[in-house]
Amino acid sequence: MSKDTTSENLRAELKSLADTLEEVLNSSADKSKEEVSKLRSKAEQALKESRYRLGETGDALAKQTREAAARADEYVRDNPWAGVGIGAAVGVVLGVLLTRR
């Protein structure tokens, strides 16, 4: 699962949930108790589905993060001086940026 696909899935899921909740809010004012109950059930179901899907997305993002960290760790172990150089360069850049303020 690519990062863009994960972001798109997250946006689509949140939009779907927002649309369902908006429908409930807009139509509950002029409905009977039975209809409001049905709308509430629909909103609760959408929320449960969204939580489940967002949990899957979070798991996928956590897996990607662990894989990226493992690759970075492997690279630094294989090329320790390159890692030191990169760390020093980042430190210099941050130092310059922070002293300008």
* Domain range annotation of the chain: 3-100
37, two tokens: 């109950």
Q: Which residues contact 1 (CB under 8 A, 6 or more apart)?
A: 60, 64
Q: For residue 93, is pLDDT > 90?
A: yes
Confidence band of 38 (pLDDT split at 50, 70, 90): confident
What is the pLDDT at residue 43?
76
Q: For residue 83, is pLDDT > 90?
A: no
CA distances (Å), origin 39, targets 43, 45, 90, 91: 6, 10, 53, 55
Residue 79: what are its φ and ψ, rounded to 5°? Answer: -130, 70
Q: For residue 75, is pLDDT > 80?
A: yes
3 vs 73, more confident: 73
Helix (H) or strand (E) holding 84: helix 80-100
State the average pLDDT over residues 67-86.
Answer: 87
pTM, to two decimals: 0.44
Confidence band of 91 (pLDDT split at 50, 70, 90): very high
